[in-house]
Amino acid sequence: MSVVISDEILQTTRMSAGEIMQELAILLFQKEKLTLGQASQLAGMTQLQFQHLLASRQIPIHYDIEDLEADVKTLREMGQL
């Protein structure tokens, strides 16, 4: 699925499309809608980079066995495992 962000929104927020996707990933991670792996993928970052981003904003990392299982499933579906 593609997300289209209009130039008007980019100009209004003074953010790039990548920055908006990072903000969306952070929000969905905080609301526990995405696992760490899913959120880092949405943000276009490695899990380590995303963890550093969360740490820079003092956002705790919640990662339990269900998150691990979901990430393994996602990796298998993507053919990366």
Q: With bands split at pLDDT 50, 70 and 90, how would you rate the model's confidence at 68? A: confident
Q: Which of 49, 50, 3 is nearest to 27 (CA)?
A: 50
17-37 residue pLDDT tens: 999 999 999 999 999 999 888
* 40 Cβ contact partners less than 8 Å away, ≥ 6 residues apart: 25, 46, 47, 49, 50, 51
Entry pTM:
0.73
Q: If you average pLDDT over residues 7-13, what whole number do you get?
A: 93
36-60 residue pLDDT tens: 889 999 999 999 999 999 999 999 8
Query: Which of 27 and 74 is assigned the larger pLDDT?
Result: 27
